[in-house]
Each structure stands twice: as C-alpha cells, then as structure tokens.
Structure 1
Amino acid sequence: MAATRTGEPRPAPAPNQAMRELRGNLSPREFATLVRRAAREIGEHVSCDARYVGRVEAGEIRCPNYAYQRVFRHMWPEKSLADLGFAPRKTVRRELPHAEPDTGIGTVEPNTGDPGTGAAAHPAPDPAARPLTQPSTDPPTDPPTGPATGPAVPAGLPDLSQQSDEENDDVLRRTFLNGAPAAMATALGAGRSPQPADPPLLAAPQPPPPPERRRVGAAEVRGVEQAVRDIRLLDDVHGADTLFELAGQSLRSAYVLLNDGEYNTETERRLQCGAGELAISVGWLAHDSNRLMDARSFYSEALATARMAQDAGLEAHVFSNIAFLARDAGQAREALRAAQAGQAAAAGLGSDRLRSLLALREASGWARLGDRGACQQALHRAYALFDRGPRDADPEWMSFFGEAELAGQEAQCWSALGEWERASTRAEQAVGLQHPHFVRNRALYIAELAHDRLGRGDLAGAAVQGSEAVALLGQVRSARIRGMLAHTADRLRGHSAVAEVRDFLAGYDDAAAA
C-alpha cells in the first residue's frame, strides 16, 4: 500500500535555469541525445529523453540519481551539482522524510524530489512512462512514415552531396526506417507489452509480463541482411557520421527479432549472422566517427553473437575490425593479438583474400610496435595470399578490398615505421587505383598521402594533397578523415609562406567552419 503524506501542500518547484541555459539552442530531444552519448562514453546507461529533460528544467527533479550525477560531471567537469541547479541530496531528503531510501544503484531514479518515481509524489503515474531501470534505447529522430510491410530495397544510392542537411536526414530516414529495418521494427512491435508503471511507494515491484512471441520468417531475415548491405553502400560513398544513429536503430530492431521472436533453426542461424554483421557495421560507423568506445562495445556484442552462433566467418570479420580499432586507439599489442586470432578463425574458410586482409592487420600491429622484420614478413604473406585471386568463399563484406586497399594499408605500415618515401609511394598508388565509387576511401588515401609527404618534408606536396582531400569533405562525413586533415593543418600552420600551404589552410579553415 502506498504511503500517504499529510500537512501543507508542497510548493511548486523552482525552475532549473542553469540546466536550461546549458541546453542552449538544442531541442530537449537533441539535448537528451547528448546526455545518452556522454553516458556511453563513461560506461553508464541512462534513459534520458525529452520528457526527463523537461522535468529537470521544470525543477521537478531536485537531485538526480548517481548515474546522472556521474554523466553530468563528465559533461561539465568544472561544475558542481549546485552550479547545475540541483539541491544536495541530504537537503532533499529532509524535505521528503518518507522518501524511498536511495540505494545508490546508478540506473534507479531515487524518490528524492523526482515525482515520477513514487505514488506519494505522483498519485497517477503515466502507464506509458518508461522506467529508468530499462536500458537506454535511443528513439529515432522522427517516427517512420510510409509502408512498413516488407523489405523495400532502395532503387539507388541517394546523392547526399547535392542536398541540404535536412534533405540528407530525410533520405537516410527513408532508407533505414521505411524499408527493411521498418519491417523488422514492426514485426514484433504490436505484440510487445507496454512498460509497467513505477510501483507505488513501499509496494513490492512486479516483474513485467513477458512479450508476446511473434513468428519470424524469411522476410524479416532478408530485411536484416538488406540493412547491412544498405549501410555498407552508403558508407562507401558518404562516410559514417550521418549514418551512425540511424544504423543503430536498425541494429536494435534486429536484436528485437532475435531475442523476442519465434523461429526455426535455419532462421535462427541466419538471424544471428545478420545481427552480428549489422553490429559490426554499426561498430565501424562508430569507429569512423571517432566514437571508439562505442565501436568497442558493438564489436564485443558482435563477437559474442559470432561465438554463440559458432560462425567462424563472422568471428574472423569481428577480429579484423577489432584489430583496426585497436591500432587507431594506440593499442598495438591488442591489434596484433586480434589480427592473429582472426587468422586462426579464417584458416578453414577457404578465402585467401580474407586471410590476406588479416595478415595486413598483423603487419600494421608489428609496424606500430617498431618491429620492421615481422612487419615485412606479414606484408609478404598478405601479398602472396592476395595474388592467389578471388574465390567463391570470399565474404560479401570484402567488396572494398582490392589493390588500392592493399597499397593503402601497406602505406600506413611504412608511415608507422617512419619510412616516408615508401609510405608516400604506396599511398600515391592507392589513390590512383581506387575505384571512384569508394569516395570515402579515396578521401582517406589522399589524406594519408598528405601526411606522408609532410613526413618527408614536402610542404607544398602535402598541402596540394590536403587541398584535394578537403574538396571531398562536402561528400564524405568521416570524423576520422577530418581528424587526419586537422593534424596536417596544425603542422603546416607555421609554413604559410608557401603558397600551396596558404591555399590549403584557407580551404581547410572554410570547410571546418562550415
């Protein structure tokens, strides 16, 4: 039975002006997205949404729970809780003597000034409210519009370079939400029970009813598989930044099918493989967007899925991406171990091209450890395997791996070893060999070539290549490539007497400010 309160009515809470000012021009939904993203950076899980932001700003939440406190301190390390407009916990407890004790568990919202967590503070809780004990599930920017009855494959790649940001978002939303992923999302949505309202104060919590199981068949599996293809195609052309959030929604829909659906053994196998590949794709988008911790989390999820499914091909793919991520994160030993584990997984798959790529990953690890001899041996093995040619067993996701990628990866090895002439030569070959469709990779190789020419002291050559890469930034949205160009620009700023350097810096600064 819920506790009751007597006495004078509680005065209306004072608005939290500090948090309102920190939100600035962002909408409550956009601000909530930033809070969730900050939580993921430190390993927290909070279900922040526009409703929560509104309650904070209205002063209804006098003191956030410990999880939110950690997130807010991560976002604004120079500010105390008082600076953020919150009251001390002990003060709020004195005002609410019958409040539920705060256990300190990060994902439970204590009833200390937050009227949405107990019957005493909120006599009629919203039955549709999502309790904060649930994992964060970032809502889509807008609900899907249009039919969602089956996997609809886009007729062609949308040309994002010729459209405004608002139009780009609309194209991507249609691609990911109105087609195959929408079919996935709706396959089980109608049968899922609504989240239960928060229990009344002092009442024993009741477990939520199990979701109704819905049949999952070939159409839903094709939807997952098509979502993977769509993400790869768009990433090849445009880079990761615009795709990451929307692709994450497709991944969540796939795991709804896998965890809440009912299917036969063959469907389960394909669904596990599809969900794992989708997790890898989203992890790569996080990596290319410089969200390295997010990428690690998605890859861990994919690796667990691969091992539960006993799928060696999926496992080899995950280890290839983990090795790449570890290299960029400065973890050379981990990159080396992941590459070697990937080669072990791929040994019996019959794909020489896959083994070649994994040998390149190993070479990169040795290069960053400064072991030139081991790096050369791995490079020799990579080229020997590549020269055996393509096979029917080559994975579909390896469409990017050709002579250009081989040369580009070798260039990065020589760059890590400080051998700038060899690095520049191979990077230049990579640029010349790259197929025009792979715009993101072309921009990457040009940015690498600018870096390598700067390494050998060719200021003008580095600036010319940098300008070429900047010209592609309107088409490519990749935080990783922008970071490479920013590093080159920083190193060239002391040499603006060189005409090519001045031109590059002017173009780069304009692009960075846009």
Structure 2
Amino acid sequence: MAANVTLRDHMAHLGLTQEELARRMNAVLEQLEGRPSDVSARTVRNLLSGSTRRPNGRTRVALEAVFGCPASDLGFSSSASSSGDEQVRRRTFLAVAGGSAVAATPAGHRRLGQSDIDRYNREHLALTDDAAVLGGTRGVESKAVQLAARIHESLDSADSSGRVRRQMYLLAAGVTCLAASAAIDASAPLRARAHLGNALTLAGLAHDSASAFRAWDHLMLTSSQRENHAEAATGADVMKRSSLARRDPSYASLGHMRHANALARLGESKESLRALALAEQAYGKAGSPSAPAWISFYHRAEFDALSSYVWTALGEHERAESCLHRTLAVLPDGAVRDRGLYTAHLSLAQARQGEAELACATARRAHALAPPGSRRTTNTLVRTRQVLTALGTRAPEVMSWIEEARTWN
C-alpha cells in the first residue's frame, strides 16, 4: 500500500493541512448537498496513506473542486470509463453551485487567445459593477459561479498557451472571489468559504500571489462573520506577513487593518491600536500603479470605514462616527451598496452614543439606500434597533422607527 505522494504534493503546494483540506471538502459538499458533511482528517489520512485508492463519488467531487483538477491528476486510480464521469461530476458541482445547468462544450481544436481573455474580462467587470450596486444577491453570486464554470469549460475544450491558461485561471479566481464577496454580503459565510477554497486553488494555478491574498482577505471576513475572531486574527497575520505585503504597502496596510479589527474584537486594545497605526503608516506609502483592479476598493473612504470598525470594537463610538462621516463625504457615487452599509454603521454609532432621534433619521436613510441583497446592511440596522430599544426612550419618532425596523429581521 503506497502513500499518495501526488496528493501530498498538491496539498503542500496550496499549504493545506489534513484538517484544512477536510474543512474545504466539507464546505464544497455542504454547498452541493445542502446539509453538513462528515469528511474528517482521518478521511484525508486514508487518502494520503493509500488505503483509499479510489475515493467514492462525493469524496471525489469534493477533491476535484478543491484542487481544480480530475482525481486522476491527484494520484487516484480510476476505471476505464471514469474519465467522462469525472467531467460530469465537475460540471454537476459547478451547475449546482451556480443554480442552473452548465452546458458542456464538446472538445475541439479551437485555440484560446487574448480575445477570449478580453471577452471574459468584460463580463467580469460588468458583474463587479452589478455587485457594487446590487449587493450580495444570489443573482450576482450565481452569475459569477456560472462565468467561472464557462472559463473552466473553455480550458477543458480548447488548446491554449501557458500564458493564456494562467490568465484564464487568474480570471476564474477573480470571478470566484466575486461570488464569495456576494455571499459575504448576504451573510452566508459557509457558502463564501466554499467559493474561496476554489479561488485559492485557481490563484495557485495562475501563479498569482495577489489573487491568493484576495482570497485570504475574504476568508478573514468569513471568520469574522462567524464570530471566530481568533481565526480572523490568524488569517490577517498571514496577510500582513506575506511576501506581497512586504513588497507593496497597499497590501501591507490592508493586512494590518484586518489584524487591528480582529485584535480589537479579541479585547487586545494595545495591540489593535498598534496594528491600526501600522495600517495608517503603510497606507501613506501606497499607490502602486501596477496594483490589480480588485484592491482599488481600498481607497481613503474604505480606509476610514474599516478604521471605524476598529474604533467601534474598542468602544470609541465618537471616533467611529467621525471616520464614517469622512467615508461618506468622499465615497464614489457608484458605490451604492457601500453607501447603504456605511450609513447603517453611522446610525449604529449614533445610537451607541445615545443620539436616538439622530440615529433613527440616519437609519431611515440607510434603509432607503440599501440594495435588497445586502444582508450585512440589514443586520447592522437590526443592531441599531436593539441599541435604541435598550435606551428606553419614549420619543414618538423613535418608537415608530423601532416598530418599523422589527420587520427587517
């Protein structure tokens, strides 16, 4: 019984432990099957040791989704007829994740080129614009997954150079991160983590450290949504220590900012303030003209908004409010979802300072601005309602807003 060295090497390339691989496989299967799965570290040990040479259908699907390649490329044996089955399983996973069937493209001799990259990139940019306006709707998430599936199909059905393949993998990674971002905005962290497992794989295939950094950034956000702030702090530490963060101050600043937020929520005030100062220092050196488009979200308005989250976690609500006013004053007009979200956080900061009437007026404005897909905005307004309820004010306008907001749970 020989050990599966190929699987071990693939895991090492992505930096996966046995526990992490099991977690990613479970996330994939939960998305596919709609219920919690039971892949364990022991399952992975059996795959590595060689005692499992031919994983069953669901295990094979999860492995292929995590690593982005057929199980036969991971060192597993297959029957003579399994090659077609592997394609069907991969397409089935992508179809279920996207919410609709993905048509298979018959193999041919067409060669992928720059025009294909440009075409898919235009679709990616259009979806990015939709996400900025619509928020985390399942429509945006599903379209992103379907686009990633079509990119995969193109790679499966046509010839291409190494450069073009890397660019296609890079696009697929960005599109999959966009799907994860929509899931995060919809407060669906488990769904987002399944997308991000795929995104990390694709970033590895593209040999692109910026895409991997983006996936780590989103993974840190899913940890925060699950209130696992120790995990979020660990993820942020990976970000700020990455080689990319050492080279580019934009990435260093974002890593320190995420770390400051997680540390604040763990009650480590001194360390959090130090991280926030490092984020500010690095941001002052940022502005690399070669930075990819996705990190352009981290402009001054976003920096101040993320700073407000740190101050909120530290109980400094007046400082948080000041940051949010600065954010809203310079936020780009097209950032509809962000304007609704940050206005909601502004209402929460005002409520926590006892400014009940002002918080209500701000909350009404936030609710009018918020796109229906942004569950994060709705959840923030729910917290505003809870704070105002606890204040016990009997002002008619406050009581009226509290009753109205009860329908937003």
TM-score range, shorter chain: 0.7 to 0.9
Select 2:124's aligned residue among 228, 232, 235: 228
Matching residue of 1:308: 205
Asked if residue 257 in structure 1 is aligned to residue 154 in structure 2, the reply is: yes
Q: What pairs up with 1:34-73 in 2 under 5 angstroms?
A: 43=30, 45-46=32-33
Matching residue of 1:502: 399
Matching residue of 1:343: 240
Larger Rg: 1
TM-score relative to the length of structure 1: 0.59
Matching residue of 2:191: 294
Matching residue of 1:94: none
Deviations 1:217-254 (A, max 9, x none): 22222223223222221212221214122222112112
Matching residue of 2:374: 478
Measure the CA separation in 2 of the matches of 1:140 and 1:42.
14
Asked if residue 244 in structure 1 is aligned to residue 231 in structure 2, the reply is: no
TM-score relative to the length of structure 2: 0.73
Deviations 1:312-332 (A, max 9, x none): 111222112222221222121
Measure the CA separation in 2 of the matches of 1:498 and 1:278.
47
Matching residue of 2:96: 138
Select 1:461's aligned residue among 327, 347, 358: 358
Q: Which stretch shifts more, 480-489 or 452-461?
A: 452-461
Gaps of 5+ in 1: 1-38, 47-67, 72-103, 109-129, 144-184, 192-210
Say whether the 8 Å CA contact 1:315–1:345 is kept in structure 2.
no
Measure the CA separation in 1 of the matches of 2:59 and 2:270.
50
Structure 2: which amino acid aligns with 1:138? V
Structure 2: which amino acid aligns with 1:278? V
1:343 is displaced (CA, Å) by: 2.5
Matching residue of 2:331: 434
Matching residue of 1:275: 172
Change over 3 Å in CA distance of 1:348–1:467 after alignment to 2: closer
Change over 3 Å in CA distance of 1:318–1:141 after alignment to 2: closer
Between structures 1 and 2, the one with greater helix share: 2
Secondary structure of the residue aligned to 2:32 is: coil
Aligned Cα root-mean-square deviation (Å): 3.2
Say whether the 8 Å CA contact 1:459–1:492 is kept in structure 2.
yes
Say whether the 8 Å CA contact 2:210–2:244 is kept in structure 1.
no
Measure the CA separation in 1 of the matches of 2:161 and 2:344.
48
Change over 3 Å in CA distance of 1:246–1:455 after alignment to 2: same
Gaps of 5+ in 2: 1-25, 37-55, 61-86
Matching residue of 2:289: 392
Percent sequence identity over matched residues? 20
Structure 1: which amino acid aligns with 2:375? A
Change over 3 Å in CA distance of 1:224–1:336 after alignment to 2: farther
Change over 3 Å in CA distance of 1:505–1:135 after alignment to 2: same
Change over 3 Å in CA distance of 1:455–1:348 after alignment to 2: closer
Say whether the 8 Å CA contact 2:167–2:206 is kept in structure 1.
no
1:410 is displaced (CA, Å) by: 0.8
Change over 3 Å in CA distance of 1:453–1:253 after alignment to 2: same
Change over 3 Å in CA distance of 1:346–1:468 after alignment to 2: farther
Deviations 1:267-288 (A, max 9, x none): 0111111111111111111111
Total equivalences in the alignment? 336
Higher relative CO (Cα under 8 Å, sequence separation at least 6) belongs to: 2
Secondary structure of the residue aligned to 1:330 is: coil
